[in-house]
Amino acid sequence: MPQLDDRTEPHSELADGVSAQVPTTDEVQIKTPENIGGMGHRKKRKEDPRFLQGKGNYVDDVKLPGMLYMDIVRSPYAHAKINKIDASAALEMDGVLAVITGEDLKAAGDLHWMPTLMSDTQMVLPIDKVVYYAQEVCAVIATSRYIAADAIEQVFVDYEPLDAVVDPFEAMKDKVIVRDDKDKKTNHIWHWEAGDKAATDAVFNDATTVVKEKFYIPRIHVSSIETCGMVANYNKVREHMQIYMTSQAPHAHRTVFALVSGIPEHKIQIISPDIGGGFGGKVPVYPGYVICAVASLVTGKPVKWIEDRSENLQADSFARDYHIEAEMAADKEGRITGLRVKTLSDCGAADAAANPSKFPAGLYSICTGSYDMKAAHVEVDGVYTTKPPGGVAYRCSFRVTEAVHMVERMTDIMAHDLGVDPADYRLKNFIRPDQFPYKSPTGWEYDSGNYEAALNKAMDMIDYRGLRKEQAEKRAKGELMGIGISSFTEVVGAGPSKDYDILGIKMFDSAEIRIHPTGKAMARFGTKSQGQGHETTYAQIIAEELGLPADDIEVEEGDTDTAPYGLGTYASRSTPTAPRPTASGPTRAVLPQLRARPPQWPRGRSGPRRRRSPRTC
Amino acid sequence: MSEHEVTLTVNGESVTRSVEARMLLVHFIREDLSLTGTHIGCDTTSCGACTVLVNGKPVKSCTVFAVQAEGAEVETIESVAAGGVLHPLQEGFWEKHGLQCGYCTPGMIMTAKEFLVRNPNPTEDEIRRGISGNLCRCTGYNKIVEAIQYAAEKLQADAGGE
Ligand code: FES
Ligand code: FES
């Protein structure tokens, strides 16, 4: 029996300068000829030539005539009363046009609060108090970014520090109330449960082995290399708001802006240009965006706001911050029978996790993972603390990472306590292929899967048994070697609407393909790439489905005036969700006609003129 | 704030502008010259997204004043594809999938360009150290290293062929 003391092992590390390479054994099935270039063809990315030559177009590259700049005064306290904001010195500076405070936003129609995507509320700018460090306090509008940065130093805010509460267990005691704007004076936001409590208690009563563990999955920050930013351009005559913004979900953001500002949705255009990485951090609507839009509304000029790195790290959306207590039960054969989980979700000063499911803890109830068990019960409580709000980040966010980490560690611990190899233990407890479609004890339906085959294949690829032998030999010599295993069942695609929703819009995506008379196509989507390469992938999928060459398909996303409504790109949803409509019947019907009768230049007239290279001036 | 006249060569063209003493080179390049291929990713000289070549050496242009570049030769990403033909580094990044969002890419390419002049035949480890002043949040670096290896080989072959 191998030594399985995995709990105390340090992570294994790659030697300095060595990259891990895992060969794949699968043959890629290619169904289209080279000139069509559908799925499986090796293609260089269509978007790369512009990025490689410095010709991308990111938000900070947008320059509009007469554009003003915004900078934000932020709180030096995690919790403090605001007695007074004195902006007079800033306003006297040359080039400073306005200082926007919470009072101003209130006067402009209660814009000092905004709804979060979780049906909570969040301050845009405070009037009475601040509830997290680096919270937006007021904003300066000036003619240059240097003057704006100077002017925020000339705004004097009289704060009265209050006790901060940064530990959710402390917060649950309600000694310091974070949100005294609420009727109920408590930091407890919500309680949510999934699964069957009585059935779970019963399997634990009958269990032969029970293991328990506590986990803290700490706050993390996505830190995309491009920070967040916006250029808002309000046209008073047209009563039209044009917004360039770092947005992973331009249409959803348009709807939010309409709801917050009262500007009718058809008078708002959001353009999400090239994005320098999103990772979930460009899903939430931050106060800075709203203030910037208001600044343009007030001044009637385009206003640019680009967050700096410190602001991005201090105040933008975090993820995780889950305190988990888990128990797993097994019967006398060692088979997993149940899972009982209690979790405290530290939401920060607002519940703003921007998660697209109908559940406050996102997709956390996927936590029974790939294992078949009789019962499970999950409880989560959301708590306010004096920390920035958030909850969304990369690697299967919406609480799937937390769920998977927990169940995989519990499985390891159970295997360890039973003295069984963790891979064998997983093989024994996986949902079997003949059990699909499988209804999980927390209510998810798994349509298909063969987890055993997948793990066996992975084990063959790395020669798992050989590695265990090597590990035993090394350990005999006193050398440490660790082997980690994790299986992962995730809900991807952020759909269907039965379980998914944001703002009552539900979750879906759309595509619109226009085929031009010459057989070239323009395809537009409601998703938004932040580096994923949609322009290439989508073109290949359309090529596969419709038989048009991928090179003849221009893919466009991010402009709400031209793209069809969609819910954006996050949660690994875009490729499985967005290009599917491309294979629809009507599109297929049009193509044969075009192929049969391609447009011809009329006889007797000279042909189309050769394209000349544009003259340089 | 005092204004100063600066004259420098950017991508082979001489430019003269009046700038504030505190104007950062990166803002001068991006805003006064509208060369937006040079990016800003941090405020602590950490990310390298703003890397340009000043007199042939890679410099984080967010940490240099425009006035310090007086008389200098500055090269930005916009000059790398000479005559519209991609440089072997650009080719390498494209071929080896060395980019995702593309935001770090110009800085990476500028750093790598000078690095390959100093070290035309680098080991993988030397490449990793060579780009250690540039951060990429998307790729995980392996593909960037392969892109630079590709360029090194191509440049060597081109040099050998002459
Ligand atoms: S912007 Fe210059 S190093 Fe980050
Ligand atoms: S490609 Fe996005 S940061 Fe490097």
> Which residues on A lie below 8 Å from B22 (Cβ)?
146
Q: Looking at residue A559, what DSSP letter applies?
A: B
The arrangement of strands across the sheet holding A375-384 comes to A188-195, A375-384, A336-348, A322-330, A209-217
pLDDT at A535 over 50: yes
How close is the Cα of A140 to the center of ligand 1, in Å?
24
CA angle, B135 as apex, B134 and B138 as ends, to 5°? 140
For residue range A71-89, what is the model confidence (pLDDT) as tens digits?
A: 999 999 999 999 999 999 9
Query: What percentage of chain A exceeds 90 in pLDDT?
Result: 76
pLDDT at A145 over 80: yes
Buried b (16+ CB within 10 A) or exposed e, A142-166: bbbbbbbebbbebbebebeebebbb
Q: Which of A51, A68, A308 to mutate to test the interface with B (most CBs of B within 10 A)?
A: A51
How close is the Cα of B70 to the center of ligand 2, in Å?
31
3-state SS, residue A72: strand
* Residue count of chain A: 617
Q: Which residues contact B120 (CB under 8 A, 6 or more apart)?
A: B152, B155, B156, B159
pLDDT at A353 over 60: yes
- Mean local confidence (pLDDT), B74-94: 96
Burial of B83 (0-12, 13-18, 19+ CB in 10 A): exposed
> Which residues on A lie below 8 Å from B42 (Cβ)?
309
Token pair 């403090």 in the structure block, residue = A80
pLDDT for res A11: 33
- Residues A76, A133: contact at Cβ < 8 Å? yes
By alpha-carbon position, which residue is closest to atom 1 of ligand 1?
A: B40
Nearest to A309 among B27, B44, B145 (CB): B44
Q: Which of A18, A53, A310 to mutate to test the interface with B (most CBs of B within 10 A)?
A: A53
Tell me the pTM. 0.91
By alpha-carbon position, which residue is closest to atom 3 of ligand 1?
A: B45
Query: CA–CA distance from A471 to each of A3, A425, A455 (Å)?
Result: 9, 18, 20
How close is the Cα of B59 to the center of ligand 1, in Å?
10
The torsion angles phi and psi of A142, rounded to 5 degrees, stand at -145, 175
Q: How far apart are CA A67 and CA A64, in angstroms?
A: 5
Enter the tokens of residue A495: 């759909």
Domains, chain B, with CATH or none: 3-79 (3.10.20.30), 88-158 (1.10.150.120)
Task: Give the type of residue at A575.
Answer: T
Domains, chain A, with CATH or none: 48-54+508-596 (3.30.365.10)
Give A495's pLDDT tier (boundaries 50, 70, 90): low
Closest approach of B160 to chain A, Cα-based (Å): 26
Q: Give the nearest chain B residue to A146 (CA atoms).
A: B23
- Mean local confidence (pLDDT), A133-162: 98
Q: Tell which one of B50, B59, B111 to mutate to probe ligand 1, the residue whose CB is within 8 A of the most ligand atoms.
A: B50
pLDDT at A607 over 50: no
Q: What is the 3-state secondary structure (H, E, C) of A374-434?
A: CEEEEEEEEEECCCCCCECCCCCCCCHHHHHHHHHHHHHHHHHHHCCCHHHHHHHHECCHH
The torsion angles phi and psi of A209, rounded to 5 degrees, stand at -130, 135
pLDDT at A1 over 90: no
For residue range A264-308, what is the model confidence (pLDDT) as tens digits?
A: 999 999 999 999 999 999 999 999 999 999 999 999 999 999 999
pLDDT for res A19: 36
Alpha-carbon dihedral A350, A327, A490, A256, rounded to 10 degrees: -10
pLDDT for res A601: 55
pLDDT for res A492: 74
Residue A428: CB atoms within 10 A of its CB come to 17
Residues paired with A244 in a beta bridge: A231, A271
CB distance B37–A224 less than 8 Å? no
For residue range A421-473, what is the model confidence (pLDDT) as tens digits?
A: 999 999 999 999 999 999 999 999 999 999 999 999 999 999 999 999 999 99
3-state SS, residue A1: coil
**CA dihedral over A425, A326, A199, A398, signed as positive or negative:** negative
pLDDT at A379 over 90: yes
**Poorest-confidence range of A286-300, A489-503, B84-98, B120-134?**
A489-503
pLDDT at A354 over 80: no
Q: How far apart are CA A116 and CA A112, in angstroms?
A: 13
Q: How far apart are CA A213 and CA A328, in angstroms?
A: 9
Q: Which residues of chain A have a Cβ shorter than 8 Å from any chain B Cβ?
A: 16-19, 44-45, 47-58, 60-61, 63, 145-146, 223-227, 274-277, 279, 308-310, 530-533
ipTM: 0.98
For residue range A27-42, what is the model confidence (pLDDT) as tens digits?
A: 678 999 999 999 999 9
Q: Which one, of B42, B49, B28, B24, lies nearest residue B107 by Cα?
A: B49
- Residues A232, A302: contact at Cβ < 8 Å? yes
> Which residues surround ligand 1 with Cβ inside 6 Å?
B 40-42, 45-50, 60, 62
B3 interfacial to chain A (CB closer than 8 Å)? no
pLDDT at A419 over 80: yes
3-state SS, residue B24: strand
B45 interfacial to chain A (CB closer than 8 Å)? no
Higher pLDDT pick, A584 / A197:
A197
For residue range B101-133, what is the model confidence (pLDDT) as tens digits?
A: 999 999 999 999 999 999 999 999 999 999 999
- Residues B106, B38: contact at Cβ < 8 Å? yes
Nearest to A277 among B101, B123, B124 (CB): B101
Q: What interhelical angle do B88-95 and B105-118 show, nearest 10? A: 120
Q: Give the nearest chain B residue to A64 (CA atoms).
A: B31
Q: How far apart are CA A188 and CA A596, in angstroms?
A: 66
Q: Ligand 2, residue A225: give the atom nearest the CA.
A: 3
Closest approach of B138 to chain A, Cα-based (Å): 7
Q: Ligand 2, residue A277: give the atom nearest the CA.
A: 2
